[in-house]
Amino acid sequence: MERTIYDADHESFRESVREFLAREVEPHLEKYEQNHGLDREFWRAAGAQGFLGLEIPEQYGGQLEPGAGDYRFNAVLTEELARVNMALASCVGIHADIVAPYLVHLTTEEQRERWLPPYATGELLGAIGMTEPSVGSDLANLRTTAVQDGDSWVINGSKTFITNGFSADLVVVAARTSPEKKAKGISLFGVETANPGFALGRKLDKVGQDESDTAEMSFTDLRVSNDDLIGPLDTGFVSMMQFLPQERLNCAVANLAHARQILDETIQYAKEREAFGQPIGRFQNTQFLLAELVTKADVTQAFIDQCVTAHAAGRLTPVDAAKAKWWSSQVQNEILDHCVQVHGGYGYMNEYRVARAWRDARVTKIWAGSNEIMKMLIGRDLGL
C-alpha cells in the first residue's frame, strides 16, 4: 500500500537513519543485549546525527527550526528504530520524543540553557519518573512526595519500570506537592541523578527487550531547588495529560513498524521453508493467514498515518491517541503470535528474530497506560 504522508525530505531523512543504524547500531546489538542497555557511545553517536534533537530548538543545539516543527520526522525515526527492535525505539523514544517536550515547553530559559544543549548531544540522558510500585497506570494517586523547605523541595518516594532509568542523568519526576488537592496537587521536578538521596535499584529482569535499560529508583530526603521545578506548581498532572498523546502515538508508530518488519520476514520465510515437498507459503492456510495479517497491518497503518498527520498539524485528540495505542499494540501482538506459528519450532528459538520480537511486543499492551485504560478513555468520550 502506498503511503502519502511523507515527502522527499522525510524519505531522505529515513535513508540517513537507516545508514546510521546499519553502521553504528546493528553491529553492536549483541553487546547491548548482554549489557541490558545502550552504551553512552550510542547516545553520543545518535546525538551527533541530530536524532536526539528533533524536539529541541536550534538555539539550544537541536534540529528544530523556528516555527518548523514536523512530527513526521519523529515518526520516521521511530519506525526505523522499531524495525531493528522495540527496545531501541523505546529507549530513544523516551529520551527524544517523550521527555524532550517537557524540557522544551515547560521550562524556564535558565533550565533550557542548562539542560537542552547536552540533552541534544547525548551527554545528558533523560528518563521520566511517573510509574510507581503500587500505582501503575493510576497516575493521579502517585505517592512520591515533595515537601517545601525554604528555597528547597525534599523528595521522598520511589518509581519503577523506568526506561533509561539505570543510565539516566536527568529524570523528570512527578511528585505530590499538595496532597489535599489530589490530582491537582502534583508537580514535576528535574532531578539530576548525581544528587544525594537518589538511589538506583538493579536493572530489572524483563521478559523481553533485553537491550533496554529499565530500573527502579528511590528518593530519600533528596533536595532540589525551586530552579528544578518544571512548570508551574501543582500543574504536573495536567502537563502529563497534555504530553501523553504524543507518547501514545510514538508507541503506536513503533508497534506497527515492528510488526510489519517481522511480518515481511515471515512472508519471505514462507516462500523459502519447505514442508511436504513445497514451500509452506503455497498451502492455503498459510496464504489465507498471511493475507489476513497484511490486510490488518495495512488498515492499521492507514489510521496511524492519519493520527501522525493530525498530530503534525496540532489536531490529534487524546482519544484518537488512545485508539492508536491500544489497537496497534493488539494488532502487533496478534501478527507476531501468528508469525511465530508460521516459523514452527524455530519460532520459539531465541536465535530467531521472530521469537525475540514476540517477547518484546507483549509489554506494549501495558505501558503508556494499559489497553484497559485506553478503552476507558474511549468509552468516556462516548458518554458512557
Which residues are part of the catalytic machinery? 247
Q: Measured in Å, how far apart are the chain's first and last C-alpha atoms? A: 36
Dihedral in degrees, nearest 10, Cα atoms 365, 368, 370, 375: -100
Q: Which uninterrupted H or E stretch holds 174?
A: strand 170-176
Q: Would you give the DSSP letter of residue 64?
A: B
- Residue given cell 496532597 in the structure block: 179
Distance CA 46, CA 61 (A): 13
Q: Would you give the DSSP letter of residue 259?
A: H
Identify whether the C-beta of residue 83 lies closer than 8 Å to the C-beta of residue 128. Answer: no
**CA-to-CA dists, residue 82 to 37, 89, 96, 271, 332, angstroms:** 16, 5, 14, 24, 12
Identify whether the C-beta of residue 245 lies closer than 8 Å to the C-beta of residue 98. Answer: no
Distance CA 43, CA 49 (A): 10
Dihedral in degrees, nearest 10, Cα atoms 348, 351, 357, 362: 50
Distance CA 159, CA 165 (A): 9
Backbone CA torsion sign across 33, 160, 252, 119 = negative
DSSP secondary structure string, 135-156?
TTT-GGG---EEEEETTEEEEE
Select from 214, 209, 145 the least CA-distant residue to 176: 145
